[in-house]
Amino acid sequence: MSSTLPLQGMTVIEIGHTVAAPYAGMILAELGADVIKVENPDAGDYTRGMPPFRDGASAVYQALNRGKRSIALDMKRPRDAALLKRLIVEKADVVLHNLKYGAMEKLGFGAEELLRLKPGLVYCNVGAFGRTGPLRDRPGYDPLMQAYTGIMSIMGEEGRPPVRVGVSITDQAAGMWAVIGIQAAYQESRRSGAGGVVDTSLFETALCWLTVQYSSFDASGVVPKREGSGLAMMAPYQAFESADSYLMVAAGNDNNFRKLCGALERPDLALDPRFAANKGRVEHRPALLAELEPIFRRKTTAQWLALLEAAGVPCSPIKRIDEVVDDPHAQALEIFQPSPDGAGHILGLPLSFDSARPPFRRAAPGLGEHTGEILSGLCGGAAPEDPAQA
C-alpha cells in the first residue's frame, strides 16, 4: 500500500456521543476519513466533562475523538438543521450516529429521509438493543449489556459478587462492528452507486462476544459458570499465586502441559491418567489445581517466569497499566503515539500498513472549533461563528 490513510476521500458526519459511535468515528478518522463531529453548542459530547483533564481537556474525550473536526449545531433549530442537511447532501459519504432509537427520525435525519435526498449515502445506526424487538426503545449502556447478555454471569469467581469486564468492551466493539459495516457498505456504494443502512447495536455486540459460550451451551446443555481467570474448556489455563504475586499460565494443550510438569519437577503429573489429556484435566480440574497451586506458591513470580519461559511454557506476568506503558515491547511497536503538540500520548490503532502505523495527525477538536471552516461554503460566504445563535 502507498498510504497509511486508505480512507482518504471519505467524509463522515458523526452525530455521536460518549463511546460507541465516537470510537467508530475515531477509527475512521485515523484511517484517513474526514470525520466531522456534530455537537450541541451548549455542552457538546458528554465525555468532555469526564475527568481526568489535561490542560482543561478531558483525556477520555481526547482518546475517543482524535483526528476529527467539530461543528456546533443545535439540530432542533430549523436553520442549524437545514445547514447540517445541506452539508450531508453536498459532502457526506457516511452518516454515523448512536442516538436513542427514533431520535434521528424526530429530528428529520432518519435514514429514509437522508437516503431520499442522497441515494448513495451510507447510514449507520449504532443502537442500544437494535432496530426491532420489544426492547428497541430502551436506552443501553455498556455494563447493562454485559449484565443482560450473560457476560457478567461468567466473569469473576463462583460464590463472589458479579463483576464487569473492566473496559467498555461492548461500546468499543460496537464501534468496531460499525466500522466493518460502514466499509463494506461504502465499497458497495462505490461499486453500484446505491447506499443503504448499516445496523449494529450494543446488545448484538455483547451477544457475539459469547459466541463460544453459547455454542458450548447449545451442544452440551450445561450453563457456563464463572471460572475466575480460567477457561472452561482447557486446563491449566489460569492465574496462579506465587510467593510474591500472581502469574498467568496457559498450558492447556497436552504438549505444553508436559513441558509445565517438567518445569515444576513433577513429570509424574503428565503420566497420571486423569491429567494426561486435556479432557481429563478439565474433568478433574479441582484435583489438578490441588497439585499445582502449592507448587506455584514456593517461588516468586520472577523465578517462575524464568523457569517456564526456558521450558517453553506460555506464561505472563500480570502487569499494571503503568508497567505496560513502560514495557520495552510496547515501546518498540510505537503504539503509544505522542500528540502533535507533544503534550501527551494516546494509543494508536492496532493496525499497520506495510509496517507503518497510521499517524496521530490531529488532536481531538474543541467544541465547534471547525464550525466556520466547514459551514462557510454552505451559506453563501462566511458561516456565523455560532450557527445555533443565528
Enumerate residues 6+ apart whose C-beta is below 8 A from 40: 72, 73, 74, 75
**What is the average pLDDT score of the chain?**
93
Which of residues 265, 284, 317 is at a domain's end?
A: 317
- The mean pLDDT value for 95-120 works out to 97
What per-residue confidence (pLDDT) applies to 341?
Answer: 82
**Angstrom distance (rounded) from CA 197 to CA 109:** 13
Rounded Cα distance between 200 and 128, Å, is 9
Asked whether residue 3 is domain-assigned, the answer is no
SS3 percent helix, strand, coil of the chain, rounded to 5, is 45, 15, 45
pLDDT of residue 385 exceeding 70, the answer is no
pLDDT on residue 84 = 97
* Residues noted as catalytic: 171
Contact 158, 286 (CB under 8 A): no
pLDDT band of residue 377 (cuts 50, 70, 90) is: confident
With cut-offs at 50, 70 and 90, classify the pLDDT of residue 3.
confident
Q: Where do the DSSP E strands lie in the chain?
A: 11-15, 34-39, 53-54, 57-58, 69-72, 94-97, 122-127, 196-201, 237-241, 246-250, 315-317, 336-338, 345-347
277 and 192 fall within a common domain? no
Mean pLDDT of 87-114: 97
pLDDT tens by residue, 119-150 = 999 999 999 999 999 999 999 999 999 999 99
What's the average model confidence in pLDDT over 53-68?
Answer: 93
Q: How far is CA 38 from the centre of its chain?
A: 21
Looking at the structure, do residues 19 and 130 belong to the same domain, yes or no?
yes
pLDDT at position 336: 93
Same domain, 42 and 147: yes
Cα–Cα distance measured from residue 35 to residue 12, given in angstroms and rounded to the nearest whole number: 5
* Lowest mean pLDDT segment, chosen from 6-10, 91-95, 170-174, 360-364: 360-364
Asked which of 293, 317, 341 is the last residue of a domain, the reply is 317
CATH of the domain at 107: 3.40.50.10540
pLDDT in tens, 24-37: 999 999 999 999 99
Residues 100 and 180 in one domain: yes
**Total domains present in the chain:** 2
379 and 337 both lie in a single domain: yes
70 in Cβ contact with 365 (< 8 Å): yes
Same domain, 39 and 152: yes
* The predicted structure's pLDDT at residue 53: 93
Report CA torsion sign: 270, 276, 282, 288.
negative
For residue 276, give its domain range.
237-241+246-317
Q: Check residue 342 and give its pLDDT.
A: 82
On whether the CB atoms of residues 199 and 133 are closer than 8 A, the answer is: no
**0.75 exceeded by pTM:** yes
Written as one string, the DSSP assignment of 84-114 is HHHHHHHH-SEEEE-PPTTHHHHTT--HHHH
Regarding whether 281 and 136 lie in a shared domain, the answer is no
pLDDT at residue 2 in the model: 61
Confidence of residue 340 (pLDDT cuts 50, 70, 90): confident
What are the C-alpha distances in Å from 121 to residues 9, 81, 94, 232, 272?
A: 14, 18, 6, 45, 63
The answer on 341 and 313 residing in a single domain is no
Domain CATH number, residue 280: 3.30.1540.10
Q: Max CA-CA distance within the chain? A: 83
Residue 155: predicted pLDDT: 94
104 pLDDT higher than 60: yes
Question: Mean pLDDT across the stretch 262-282?
Answer: 97
Select from 15, 110, 118 the least CA-distant residue to 68. 15
**Structural domain contains residue 325:** no
What is the mean predicted confidence (pLDDT) over 356-375? 93
In this structure, is residue 185 part of a structural domain? Answer: yes
d(CA 167, CA 381): 45
Inform me whether the pLDDT recorded for 58 exceeds 60.
Answer: yes
Last residue of a domain, one of 283, 317, 351: 317
Q: What is the per-residue DSSP string for 119-156?
A: TT-EEEEEESS-SSSTTTTS---HHHHHHHHTTGGGSS
In this prediction, what percent of the chain has a pLDDT beyond 70?
A: 96
State the pLDDT confidence band at 276, using cuts at 50, 70 and 90: very high
CA distances 209 to 60, 216, 239, Å, are 24, 13, 22
Residue 224 lies in a domain: no
58 and 159 assigned to the same domain? yes
Q: Coil, helix or strand for 251? A: coil
Q: Is residue 114 part of a domain?
A: yes
Q: Kindly tell me if the per-residue pLDDT of 384 is higher than 60.
A: no
Q: Is 1 inside a domain boundary?
A: no
Same domain, 130 and 252: no
Whether 150 is covered by a domain: the verdict is yes
133 with 148: CB under 8 angstroms? no
Are 179 and 269 in the same domain?
A: no
> Which of the 8 DSSP states describes residue 336?
E
**CA atoms within 13 Å, Cβ hemisphere of 319:** 10
Question: How far, CA to CA in Å, does 174 sit from each of 18, 121, 164?
Answer: 13, 21, 17
Partners of 126 in beta bridges: 200
Please, which residues bridge with residue 15 across strands?
97
- 62 with 186, same domain? yes
In a domain, 322, yes or no: no
In the prediction, which pLDDT does 382 show?
44
